[in-house]
A = this chain, B = another copy of it.
Amino acid sequence: MSAIRLLVLGAVRMHGRAHGYQVRNDLEYWGAHEWSNAKPGSIYHALKQMAKQGLLLAHETAPSTAGGPPRTEYEVTEAGLDEYRALLRDAIRSYDRNMDVLSAAVGFIVDLPREEAVALLKERIEGIREWRDAVTEYYTPEEGPESLGHIGEIMNLWVHSADSGAEWTRGLIARIEGGAYTFAGEGDPFVGVLAEGEENPYATGVPDPGDND
């Protein structure tokens, strides 16, 4: 599963009501185009698809107030909210070798109660441990790891990266348990969206982090 649905649902929800271009701008503001497949086509596709599936409610709105073609505004439905929370919990809990889903989830993690966030992150660590054990066993033939030749380096890479992921997760748990950030029900939430008309401070004029996909 890609991160696009979680990102789009989360962005629309933070606005209450948003059109595609606004979502697109938020995601750029968050740098999501750097670490996920948040491109215009994907965003508009996800909006339409989720509207068709009843996760979003589409309002055909009047022509833009700021030039350009008319735009459609979306709102998250009850079902959409359920889906959002399910995706969010799942993204935090389960170890996926692609970091985009996790990155998106970290962006929304404060939407959960602090205790739940910590619990999910601990589940994550446990999942990494299980995955690591299974992989090392799977890739350790009877004749010893040498019989794999350089292929063993692939396993080495995964295990290295799993360990690194676990370490980062432990660090995050420590910071959250230490009182960092403002979680659900703890007062004014951190606002990470661009208001109508507000300009994106990261949009341009900044050295490009070298997109070498």
Whether A96 touches B154, Cβ cut-off 8 Å, given contacts A138-B207, A160-B164, A161-B168, is no
Q: Which residues of B contact A155 (CB under 8 A)?
A: 31
Please, how many angstroms separate the alpha-carbon atoms of A201 and B138 in the complex? 10
> Contact residues of A with B, CB < 8 Å?
1, 30-31, 34-35, 94-100, 102-103, 106-107, 109-110, 127, 130-131, 134-135, 137-139, 141, 149-151, 153-158, 160-161, 163-165, 167-168, 171-172, 175, 180-182, 190, 192, 201-202, 206-210, 212-213
Q: Which residues of B contact A135 (CB under 8 A)?
A: 34, 209
Q: Which residues of B contact A213 (CB under 8 A)?
A: 1, 94, 96-98
Please, how many angstroms separate the alpha-carbon atoms of A137 and B106 in the complex? 20
- What are 9 sample pairs from A and B whose C-beta atoms fall under 8 A apart? A96-B212, A97-B213, A99-B158, A103-B154, A103-B158, A106-B154, A109-B150, A150-B180, A151-B192
Which chain B residue has the least Cβ–Cβ distance from A36? B97
Whether A150 touches B95, Cβ cut-off 8 Å, given contacts A201-B141, A207-B134, A210-B130, is no
Q: Which residues of B contact A98 (CB under 8 A)?
A: 98, 213
